[in-house]
């Protein structure tokens, strides 16, 4: 069952930090799979998202702490809130409260682009400025791709 706000990878979300960009593409793939998945598969996919996001967020959090990224507290707090929401919804799924999982998937599809464009791109700019003295160069194709 596809949701009206289906997410597809867009190069607009490239931030110029290869490992982070690669992990972002993986998170989009998982969200995309959750959008199309039957309810019986959502807990497994949410677990996959939770593990991937936790690992990804830990890397970003370490980069922010090590580089003393000024708005790191806000950024880390947002990571924590996402992981908390996923954990809470997974617990509700085990109680057969399934519709909340669909709502979470919709919210993740809305949250991801804004998070990347506003917070992760600022982190990438900060890291590039610290190591190279300027913003990263990012070449973005004017198309959306589904990477499955």
The tokens describing 12, both together, are 């607009």
Q: What's the pLDDT score for residue 1? A: 43
Pick the CATH number of 10-143 from 1.20.120.50, 1.10.540.10, 3.80.10.10, 3.40.228.10: 1.20.120.50
Task: Calculate the alpha carbon distances from 103 to 35, 57, 97, 100, 114 in Å.
Answer: 10, 22, 11, 5, 17
Sort strands 9-10 and 144-145 into parallel, antiparallel or unpaired: antiparallel
Q: How many CA atoms does the CB half-sphere of 88 hold within 13 Å? A: 9
Per-residue pLDDT of the chain (148 residues; tens, 9 = 90+): 444 478 999 999 999 999 999 999 999 999 999 999 998 899 999 999 999 999 999 999 999 999 999 999 999 999 999 999 999 999 998 888 888 999 999 999 999 999 999 999 999 999 999 888 777 777 777 655 554 4
Q: What's the pLDDT score for residue 138? A: 72
Give the whole-angstrom CA distance, residue 45 versus residue 58: 20
Q: Could you state, in order of their start, the residue ranges of all structural domains in the chain?
A: 10-143
């Amino acid at each position: 069952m596809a949701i009206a706000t289906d997410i597809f990878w867009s190069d607009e979300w490239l931030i110029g930090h290869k490992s982070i960009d690669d992990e972002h593409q993986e998170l989009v793939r998982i969200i995309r799979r959750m959008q199309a998945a039957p309810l019986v598969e959502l807990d497994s996919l949410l677990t996959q998202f939770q593990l991937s996001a936790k690992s990804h967020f830990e890397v970003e959090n370490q980069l922010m702490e090590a580089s003393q990224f000024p708005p790191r507290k806000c950024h880390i707090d947002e990571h924590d809130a996402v992981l908390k929401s996923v954990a809470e919804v997974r617990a509700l799924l085990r109680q057969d409260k399934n519709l909340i999982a669909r709502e979470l998937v919709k919210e993740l599809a809305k949250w991801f682009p804004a998070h990347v464009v506003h917070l992760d791109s600022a982190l990438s700019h900060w890291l590039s400025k610290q190591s190279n003295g300027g913003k990263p160069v990012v070449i973005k194709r004017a198309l959306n791709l589904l990477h499955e």
